[in-house]
Amino acid sequence: MEDIKLYSEIEHLIIAWNIDGTKTAGYLTREIMGLINQRKLYKEQQELLESAYNNFIYYPDYKGKCYADLIGSQAGQLVKCPTQEDFIDKCKTDIKFSEKWGLKIEERDLSFEERHMIWHDDNKKANVSPFMEKQLSSMLDEINIPTKLITVTYNDIKLERYE
């Protein structure tokens, strides 16, 4: 299934490149390589999140019982284990919970300067007027330059990806 989705995304890039007619083959190659790298980072990030979630669900001191079930059973009721999405949301919003389970998730918007550097694939600062910055920002949106940086840290492994 993932291969079909990747194929479709690459096909979309090729069609857009062909219709545009002004971009070089090198541009298309960089776009495809960027897509593949982002997918690889996404997969690694998902594996890291899954590892943290499994640690939460199968808390070792309780011999594989769900931590959430144990909390609920103290009140005489069993509760359903939180989903991985619930766990991730809790780690994003509750610092103590995040620290307890060792999973830190940070999301932040990228500045115009950072987006410009991604577009140019260099570390040169953009020296443009506020008017041009607004125009360039719109263009960066149109060509899908990322707007957000997501950083996931778990067990001293830190992964960053753009979205």
The single-letter DSSP state of residue 94 is -
Residue 108 scores a pLDDT above 90: yes
Mean pLDDT of the chain: 79
Per-residue pLDDT of 125-141, as tens digits, reads 667 777 888 888 888 88
Task: Name 151's Cβ contacts closer than 8 Å, sequence gap at least 6.
Answer: 104, 105, 106, 107, 158, 159, 160
**Least confidently predicted of 8-17, 38-47, 104-113, 119-128:** 119-128
Name 109's bridge partners: 148
Distance (Å, whole) CA 57 – CA 49: 12
* H runs (alpha helix) in 94-149: 95-101, 112-120, 130-142
Domain ranges of the chain: 2-110+146-162
Per-residue pLDDT of 46-99, as tens digits, reads 899 999 988 887 764 444 455 554 454 555 555 566 788 888 888 888 888 888
pTM: 0.65
Torsion angle (degrees, nearest 10) of CA 122, 127, 129, 131: 0
Looking at residue 30, what is its pLDDT?
84
